[in-house]
Amino acid sequence: MGFNFKNDTPIYLQIIEEIKKLIITGKYLPEQKLPSVRDFSASFCVNPNTVQKALLELESDGLIYTERTSGKFVTNDLTVIENAKNEAIVKLTLNFLNEAQTLGITKQIIIDIIESESDL
């Protein structure tokens, strides 16, 4: 994978976003075992301690859980995943709206565009 990180945000936050994305899009299914810290670290090309920090954060959010001996798994609680998904959508939309506002685009124009691109 080895994606490009943004320079101004801490890397662990970017990794959290990245792993969340993999979970909401179903790349990692509920109750699926996650790669080890080392594997994540190698595939993202980031520091293992940074991955560890990101995973702890995801665990406290309830998106993943630890089985004492066998590693980390995606939660089986579908509502948590659903919430994360909604949160992501809201966040994405708000970001977009903010951007649109700075460009002076009104809500009505946006709605018009969405309706005309009906196949979306």
Partner 1 sequence: MNVLQINNLNKSFQNKQVLKDISFTIKPNRIVGLLGKNGCGKTTILKIVNDLLTKDSGSVLVMGNPISVETKKLISYLPERSYLDSDSKVIEVIKFFETFYSDFNKDKARKLLKELGLDENARLAKMSKGMKEKVGLVLVMSRSAKLYVLDEPLGGVDPATRDVVLKTILSNFDDGASMLITTHIISDVESILDDVIFINDGKIILQGEAETLREEHGASIDEIFRRLLK
CB proximity list for 36: less than 8 A, separation 6 or greater: 71
Exposure of 5 by Cβ count < 10 A (0-12 exposed, 13-18 middle, 19+ buried)? middle
Alpha-carbon Rg for the chain in angstroms: 17
8 binds partner 1 (CB under 8 A): yes
- Of 7, 60, 69, 79, which one interacts with partner 1 (CB under 8 A)? 7
Q: Hey, which residues between 41 and 80 contact partner 1 (CB under 8 A)? A: 41-50
Instruction: Please work out the total of residues on this chain that contact partner 1, with binding judged by CB under 8 A.
Output: 19
Answer yes or no: are the C-beta atoms of 73 and 65 closer than 8 Å: yes
Binding segment for partner 1 (CB under 8 A), chosen from 18-26, 33-41, 61-69, 76-84, is 33-41
Q: Summarize as ranges the residues that interact with partner 1 (CB under 8 A).
A: 2, 5, 7-8, 10-12, 38-39, 41-50
